[in-house]
Amino acid sequence: MRIDILSIFPEMFKGPFSHSIIKRAQEKGLAEIHVHDIRIYSKNKHKKVDDYPYAGGAGMVMMAEPIVSAIEDLKSKTNYDAIVFMTPDGKVFNQNIANHFSSFDNILLLCGHYKGIDERIRENYITHEMSIGDYVLSGGELAAMIVTDALIRLIPGVLGDETSALSDSFQDGLLSPPVYTRPFDFKGFKVPEILLSGNEKAIVEWKYQKALERTQNRRPDLLKNDEL
């Protein structure tokens, strides 16, 4: 999978993409991440990428020209399955969407800033608009990092255990059940006996019931939500 990211603050990505699972995925050649500075596409001598909104109002708007120039340049070199704008008013990103996007070969993520981007970009160049929640961040960079991490961990071979991602919360529409590790008895708090029983069928049923119980208590909305 190749992920290209357009941002006016590309240096923000250096730390998060240089460690842990994302780093290993790149080292193994399973994922490519390329972060591009939108400012280099600006024709303004000061590399300005924003301007005042028509009809007035607070804040600045990212201009169409540098962003479109960046998108068109990257599209001339790569055939993208999705061009995604990270925005608070987009569709909320979830595990179903992550699963769907993980089947793509090439994805372009656009990070907005200020009061947003010129609407003509959204109308003519963007294929998907994604939000990571009902709140506003200073820019789309953190959201793009989250989406990138969620996608890369789903690529076969990235995680040490091929089945690990399949047992994550949300994969089956439920939150994950409780998990335990050694020691069996920690300060008098013991691991449920059934997990040591060796009865695989009973353990599977126990995990399902606990996952269902946790979902009903903490996220009952998930039991009604099967949208992509």
Which CATH code fits 2-152? Answer: 3.40.1280.10
pTM of the model: 0.88
The CA distance from 179 to 207, in Å, is 9
Residues 6 or more apart from 90 whose CB is under 8 A from it? Answer: 128, 129, 130, 131
Interval 49-77 mean pLDDT: 96
In 3-state terms, what secondary structure has residue 22?
A: helix
Give pLDDT, residue 86: 98
Q: Is 60 exceeded by the pLDDT of residue 147?
A: yes
> Counting beta carbons within 10 angstroms of the beta carbon of residue 219, is it exposed (0 to 12), middle (13 to 18) or buried (19 or more)?
middle
Q: Is 80 exceeded by the pLDDT of residue 74?
A: yes
**Per-residue pLDDT tens for 161-201?**
655 555 565 667 899 999 999 999 999 999 999 999 999 99
Q: How confident is the prediction for the chain on average, in pLDDT?
A: 93
Report the 10 Å Cβ neighbour count for 151.
24
Q: Is the peptide bond before 192 cis (omega within 30 degrees of 0)?
A: no
Give pLDDT, residue 224: 79
Q: Residue ranges per domain, the chain? A: 2-152, 169-224
Q: Say if 2-152 and 169-224 have the same CATH topology.
A: no
169-224: CATH homologous superfamily? tRNA(m1g37)methyltransferase, domain 2 (1.10.1270.20)
For a pLDDT cut of 90, what percent of the chain falls above it? 91
* 72-110: b (≥16 Cβ within 10 Å) or e: eebeeeeebbebbbbbbebeebbbebbbebbeeebbbbb
The CA distance from 185 to 83, in Å, is 51
Q: Is 50 exceeded by the pLDDT of residue 228?
A: no
Give pLDDT, residue 134: 95
**Per-residue pLDDT tens for 203-222?**
999 999 999 999 999 999 98
Query: Angle, nearest 10°, between helix axes 141-152 and 20-27?
Result: 60
Task: Report DSSP letters for 66-95, one per residue.
Answer: HHHHHHHHHHTT---SEEEEEEEEEEEP-H
